[in-house]
A and B are shown apart, each in its own frame.
Chain A
Amino acid sequence: MSIEQDIVEKAVKGDRNAFAQLYEKHFDRIYRYVYIRLGNKTETEDLTQDVFIRALEAIGSYKWRNSPFAAWLYRIAHNQVIDYFRKHGKVEKMPLEDDNVLIGKSDPAFNAENELEIERMIDGINRLTPAQRDVISLRFGAQLSIAEAARTLGKNEGTVKALQYNGILALKKMLLAGE
C-alpha cells in the first residue's frame, strides 16, 4: 500500500487529520486547474471550496478499486466546472478579471509580467477544443499524470497523449502569433 493510499484509507474511515493531509496536497493544484478553466478569482475560490466540501461529504463512500484518489478528486472538480458552465449558461471562454492570483507580490513589475503571461496562457487554452482544454488544464494546471488525467476524463491514455500533443502544438502557435 502506497503512502497516499494509506492516508486515503484513513480519511475514508473518518480520520480528519488524514483528510487535512489530502487537502494540503491537492488544494493548490485544484485551485490552479479551476482558475485555468474559469479565469476568475472569486468564482475559482467558491468552486474550489465546493470541490473540497463535496469530497469531504463523499470520502466515506470512496473505494480505491484500482482508481487513484487523484482521479476521483479531480473528477469532482471537473464535474463542478461543467456544472458551473451549465448553471451560469456561460460558454467556456471568459474575460479575465483584473485580479492578482500570484503569490509573492513584492515586485510589482515582475508580477505584472507574470499576470500577463497567465492571461495569455488562459486565453490560449480557452481557444483550444474542449477535449484539448480538459487535458492541458489537468496536465499543466493540476499536474496530473497521463494515467490520472485519462482516468479523470474517462478516456484512454493514447487519446490523452494525442490531445496533449495537439493542444501544445496549437498553444505554441497561438502564443507565438501573439508575440
Chain B
Amino acid sequence: MKMTQNEAEIFDSCLESMFKGANIEDCLRAYPRQAKELEPLLRASLAIRQTSLNIQPDYHFKAIVRSHLQIKAEKMRQKEHKATWFFSYYKRLTVAMVSVMVVFLVGGGVLLASANALPDESLYPIKLAGEQLRLAVTFTEIDRAKVHVQFAERRADEMVEMALQGERDMVSTLTAQITAHIGSLNGIWEFPVMQGESANVFAPAELPESVEIRTSDEDKSTVDLEEILNQSREETFYILQAALYSAPEDLKPILEQAIENLGNDYSNAISIVKTG
C-alpha cells in the first residue's frame, strides 16, 4: 500500500480521536473513502495500544525507586545547604574585602552593563572580552566545558534576537560562534564525532522542498541563511551527541539541556528567517 501524507494525517487524526474515547466506526464514517484501508490499521493500533498498557512496572520496584529518589533529593538539599553555610561563614571576610574591590568596580561596572548587550550594540565587544577573561581564569576541564556551553547558549539567544531584527549577517556570524564554542569541547576531552542515525537523532530534518523553487534574490538570500542555520544546527548537534556519549557524568545533564535549548533557538531562528 502506497502511503501519502494525507493518509498519514487522516490515520493520526482517527488515532487521536480514538485515544480520547471515540470508536472506530465514528472515524470510518468521517472518512468513508479511506475506510477500507483505515479499518484494519486502526484495529491493529488499538490492539497494540492495549498490549502496551498491559506492561506495568512492579509495585515494589516503583516504591524502591521513589525511596531512592527521596534519598538523592535530600542529599542534594544537604549539599546545597552546606554551600550556603560556607558562603555565610565567609560573609564577613567578603565585606572586609569590599573596599579593595571598589577599585575594580568601575571597570567591572562597564563589564556588568555589557552583560545583556547584543551584537549590534557598542558594549558588545566588552561582553566578548569579559567572556574571554572568564575562560582564561577557568581552570578545571569540566568548568571550561560548562562555560563554553553557556556561551554557546548565549550566542544562540542573540542569534534569535538578531533574526527578529532582520540582521542576517549577524545571524550567520553567530551560528559560526555557536559551533565554535561547542566544537571547543573536543579540545577539552577527545571524543569521536559519530556518523549514522543514532548520532543524528537530534539533527534537523532535510531542507524543505521549497528551497528548490524559490528564485528571487531576496528568496535566495533567505534560503542561503536557512541553509547556514540548518548546517550549523546539524554540525552542532553531531558534536553535542558525540560529546554526550563520552562526557563526564557531571556534564551530561548540562549537555542534554544544551541540546534542548539550542534546538529551540535554532528552530525559532529558522522559523523567523522563513517568515521574513
Contacts and interface: CB of A to CB of B under 8 A. Distances in A.
Interface in A45-80: 45, 48-49, 52-54, 56-58, 61-63, 65-67, 72, 75-76, 78-79
Contacts of B61: 45
A35 to B, nearest CB: 5
Interface string A109-125: 00000100110010000
Interface string A149-179: 0000111101101101110110110010000
A159 to B, nearest CB: 6
A84 to B, nearest CB: 11
Q: Is the interface of A mostly helix, strand, loop or mixed?
A: helix
A132 B45 CA distance: 14
B165 interface: no
Q: Is the interface of B mostly helix, strand, loop or mixed?
A: helix
A27 B65 CA distance: 10
Interface string A74-113: 0110110011011000000000000001110000000000
Contacts of A154: 201-204, 237, 263
Contacts of B257: 58, 61-63
B62 A153 contact: no
B44 interface: yes
A13 interface: no
A68 to B, nearest CB: 11
Contacts of A63: 257, 260-261
A67 B81 CA distance: 31
B12 A164 contact: yes
A141 B55 contact: yes
A153 B263 CA distance: 11
Interface in B60-87: 61-62, 65-66, 68-70, 72-73, 76-77, 80
B254 A16 contact: no
Contact of B48 (A31, A66, A140): A140
Given A63-B261, A67-B264, A162-B3, A27 B57 contact: yes
A45 B5 contact: no
A156 B5 CA distance: 13
A118 B55 CA distance: 8
13 contacts: A27-B62, A27-B65, A32-B53, A35-B55, A48-B65, A54-B256, A61-B257, A79-B256, A103-B54, A154-B201, A154-B202, A158-B5, A164-B11
